[in-house]
Chains A and B, each alone.
Chain A
Amino acid sequence: MIDVINLNKKFGKLEVLKNISITIDEGEKVAIIGPSGSGKSTFLRCLNCMEDPTSGSIIFNGVDIADMRVNINIHRRHMGMVFQQFNLFNNKTVIDNIMLAPVHIGLSELRKKKLQNIVIKFSNIFRKNKKDLHVIDTSKAQIKKEAKENAMRLLERIGLEDKANVYPSTLSGGQKQRIAIIRALAMNPKVMLFDEPTSALDPEMVGEVLELIKQVADEGMTMVIVTHEMGFAKEVATRVCFMDEGNIIEDAPPEELFGNPKHERLKLFLSKVLS
């Protein structure tokens, strides 16, 4: 699903990612662990080009999205991202947070099709072999209605349907993060990227967020998750990558990586975080 090939990232002179290559298959749940500053967030953010790689390729669905000529926005719609700081839109209610992108994208695609139809109709006047028009089987109102129904379904799923019309500032951290997760799910992504989704939460709220992520994982979603929750990584991940100084130096199923770590650095790291 995602092929990372010789990925390098520099910030000025600082080499943050050093020639990383990794393949993430459909349905895998990859946990990224490692010390602070090792490049975990940068790696994750390169996967959907929130950071543009300095060199190398990110092949997603057969397209190299690291190529600056591709329209990255189209590909990002299939890659959900969840941030440490939730980043709900402060100026939108909960339901509008969830609906904003699906509605905007639905409407702009509808507009594009309508415009193209006009062009086709016009040029058909001069054509012998008439070109077919796009089938338009939806409307503005329908797009909005469907997005709203979908948003409400997702809210019901996490038991927050009564919060649909409040602003994010009135919510707890755990509620915000769960809404951020379903906001990403509302786009029907093929893969979900999480950057320390529970690090900014009060301890009593970590459980509810991890529970939701686990549910999403169990449904078969492909996931890459940067985390400091070793217990969670053990339980949910099918594969754990240990990053150190811009390299993935160990990449194994959780039983093996935690039970029988090979590199000294990983042993040292585990002895620190597990004690």
Chain B
Amino acid sequence: MGSFEKKIEVFWDVFYHHNGYDKVITGLQNTLMIAVIGLIIGIIIGTIIAIIEVFPKYKRLPRVLNSICQVYVGLFRGTPIVVQLLIAYYVVMPLLGVNVPPVNVCIVVFGLNSGAYVSEIMRGGINSVDPGQLEAGRALGLSYSVSMIKIVVPQAIKNILPTLGNEFISLIKETSVVSFVGATDLYVAFNYIGSNNYEFMVPYIVMALIYIVLVMGISLLIKLMERSLQKSDRRN
């Protein structure tokens, strides 16, 4: 056990005295930022796609938009996120001739990726809302989109909140690949600490613990949020 204590000492030394904590904080910030902003972008894109998918298709425009959405969802669900990151960073960016910091690229790619998944979740949520809700809105003279946005989608989001929470958790875990394009995340931070004297055991354990705490904390938040939403149903 003595050697394990030694390893902890070595870890603490790099973490505390050699700016290791700085890297960890940056990594944690990036991880959370990519996941949070990614999810927000994902919810916006996913909602739009889901509305297009359930929109009545008498006219041409909704049909064309729907096909575009299907291609988009197919592409992003059909490839691993690492591949999407690499393509965005090493193919799309040079072709467009722009130079964007890796973290921003990651945010956009995670947002687009999550949009494809959230659209499926949202569609399920929208279909789970009683069709009478939409009818009542339409009967009052509200347009299809207004009825969807004001009445159906809020109820759909409430129905799928737990599922969206899971999407957020998997986004957090998936951020561990952003180092492929040179963004600093928790993995990069702890890898840096470990490679200082080739002692990886403790850094990786701590990294795992941080992920676990993050995920458990978020699960708890989601539970609390669900409970308070249910209260609004019963409030007198």
- A interface residue numbers (CB < 8 A to B): 48, 50, 68, 73-77, 79-81, 83, 85, 87-92, 100-101, 104-105, 166-167, 169-170, 180, 183-184, 187
Contacts and interface: CB of A to CB of B under 8 A. Distances in A.
B136 A83 contact: yes
A6 B26 CA distance: 72
A150 to B, nearest CB: 14
Given A89-B133, A169-B234, A170-B234, A73 B151 contact: no
Contacts of A184: 139-140
A62 B138 CA distance: 21
With most chain A CB atoms within 10 A of its CB, the pick from B130, B136, B143, B234 is B136
Contact of B235 (A50, A167, A180, A183): A167
Interface in B192-236: 232-236
Interface in B110-160: 130, 132-133, 135-143, 146, 150-151, 154-155, 158
Contacts of A79: 139
Nearest to A105: B141
A75 B143 CA distance: 12
With most chain A CB atoms within 10 A of its CB, the pick from B132, B140, B142, B155 is B140
With most chain B CB atoms within 10 A of its CB, the pick from A75, A80, A104 is A104
Given A50-B138, A73-B141, A76-B138, A90 B232 contact: no
Contacts of A170: 234-236
Given A91-B155, A167-B232, A167-B235, A101 B140 contact: yes
B141 A76 contact: yes
Given A77-B140, A169-B234, A184-B140, 16 more contacts: A50-B135, A73-B138, A73-B142, A74-B141, A77-B141, A81-B139, A90-B130, A90-B133, A90-B233, A91-B158, A104-B146, A166-B235, A167-B232, A167-B235, A170-B236, A187-B141
Contact of B139 (A50, A74, A92): A50
Contacts of A68: 58
Contacts of B235: 166-167, 170
B132 A48 contact: no
A79 B141 CA distance: 9
A180 B140 CA distance: 11
26 contacts: A73-B143, A75-B141, A76-B141, A77-B140, A80-B139, A83-B135, A83-B136, A85-B130, A87-B130, A87-B136, A89-B133, A89-B137, A90-B133, A91-B155, A92-B151, A100-B142, A100-B150, A101-B137, A101-B142, A105-B141, A167-B233, A167-B234, A183-B140, A184-B139, A187-B140, A187-B141
- Nearest 5 pairs between A and B by C-beta? A77-B141, A87-B136, A101-B140, A81-B139, A87-B132
Contacts of A75: 141
B117 to A, nearest CB: 24
Contacts of B234: 167, 169-170
Contacts of B133: 87, 89-90
B198 to A, nearest CB: 57
A89 B136 CA distance: 8
Contacts of B135: 50, 83, 87
A169 B233 contact: yes
Given A83-B132, A167-B233, A170-B236, A91 B151 contact: yes
A88 B233 CA distance: 13
With most chain A CB atoms within 10 A of its CB, the pick from B141, B142, B158 is B141
Contacts of A83: 132, 135-136, 139
A247 B100 CA distance: 68
A76 B142 CA distance: 9
A151 to B, nearest CB: 13
A48 B139 contact: yes
A76 B233 contact: no
B139 A76 contact: yes
Contact of B236 (A77, A87, A88, A166): A166
Contacts of A74: 141
A263 to B, nearest CB: 32
B176 to A, nearest CB: 37
Contacts of B132: 83, 85, 87
A81 B132 CA distance: 12
Contacts of B141: 73-77, 101, 105, 187
Contacts of B139: 48, 50, 76, 79-81, 83, 184
